[in-house]
Structure 1
Amino acid sequence: MPSFSASTVALLALTLTLVVIAFVAPVRAADPAPATDSAAVERACRDYVDAIYDLKPELIDRSVSPNLVKSGFGFNKKEGVYKQYPMSFAQLRELAASYNKDGKIPKDAPRDVVVLGVLDSIATAKLTASWGVDYFQLAKEGGRWRIRHILWQSHPPASAGTETDAVRRACLDYAEGIYLVKPENIDRAVHRDLVKVGFVQNGADPEPAQRPMSFDQLRTLAAQVNKDGKFGPSARKEVEVLDAMDQTACAKLTAEWGIDSFHLAKFDGQWKIVQVVWQNHRSKPRAE
């Protein structure tokens, strides 16, 4: 029988102990599910910025809807104007895989997320990052919160002001266009490239029905839906400007049909609604 030194025996005992610990130690969840809707919304937004900063396009798959509509306004310093840049889901994923390959984003770059509002099916949030500020409209689909629409802009100059009254007026034009049968209000307040989708819960259906709508469909709705006066003079049209900068803004409208989340942008000096997600009122109160 072979003999072993005391040091060899001690080493074998330590190795055996580590093997046993590896088998019996509980497995720690690497990515626990958020406890609340607000936390899940925040995590989706953090996935987005982490994907770009940390070269992890798989986080885009997790947090962003394939139906993403994204538009941004980068400030052209040479010309002194904002220029618009659209982006698809596929382009965003490619960006996440390559944008920071050369380490252009500073290690201490901001990843500041503020959740501006959460409802049953839709949510609104704001991200401040190295490139500027992103407004997010999120939707809960299949039990998971994903970013559906994005409107972003370069960091505004320190001297830039905000035009909350003009933003509020555009939102009221939208509501009054429908209530007062004035489709011309839609022409004034809504961009022709409008992207709008609603989430309507009917009865006991497990998932709300999605209702997309184009600019032309919205204009037709405004010309017809209240012809019989079902929405009276006291119909709700409560507008809250959630955040506003010099080129982009986000707002919330509470109306008779439900709650609309708006993203607005400034075109030739006029504020227009460019992205909308909305949901109908729900009879059962929700818990965050």
Structure 2
Amino acid sequence: MRRLEHLWWPALQAAAQQPGSTVVLPVGAFEQHGPHLPMGTDLLFAEAVVDRVLDRLPAELPLWRLPAVAFGFSPEHLGFPGTVSLSAEALLAQLQGIAAALSEAGFRRLVLFNGHGGQIALLQVAARQLQQQFPSLAVLPWFLWSGPPGVLEQIPEPERSQGLHAGRLETSLMLALHPELVGELPAGEAMASPPAGLSLEGAVPTAWRTRSLSNSGVVGDPAGASAAEGELLLQGLVGGWCELFDTLLRSDWPHMRPVVGTMQRQ
């Protein structure tokens, strides 16, 4: 049983005391995904991959999951009905409370398994802060799409690099996971593009608001999406993350050195 919310507290305590005990926390968002994908797209993706990884990994590996964080940091999508965006401070506070409880129980690692690209940097900041506050708990801020190599290569350019939100990539994966949640695909629209050499994300990024780029909420083009393509994406994600989690759980990474107290001057 790998769901911590299903355990009695003595069983949870025993789980925490296992060498290398690791907890994965799916982190999603509640935000518009164009007129054809559900508000909880990022959460659905993170949970789907995590659950499949948990099912595949050997039972003896010390890995458990928490209920997901359903609301995230999504200010770029405000202006579309229904988008819920926590402040950075609110999300950090929630993660701090979770990490405090895990550290107190004795768990050794916390993986923030994030499905929303708009909060990658924030969760990296959170990981550093949590590491400072709870030195015995290693915190790993992982992003769904940036771990397993080669997954995105089946998406052709320019959609691979420019389809940042509700485009072909996400639409294909949703068609594979929950086709009943996919609406009629919107027609492509011309979007504002940064000057040559600059980018919305990547090496030379800029902060952006979806309303400034797209009337539909789509940043990219879902044309060409298919359930078959989504199945290949899903297989690549699950297989790749299984390998990465297995590597982590069979190691002592990251090495946690004892905290050295501040020396007082005589």
Which TM-score applies when normalising by structure 2?
0.27
Query: Whose strand proportion is higher, 1 or 2?
Result: 1
Q: Compare relative contact order (CA 8 Å, sep 6+) and give the higher one, 1 or 2.
A: 2
Task: Give the alignment's TM-score, normalised by structure 1.
Answer: 0.25
Larger radius of gyration: 1
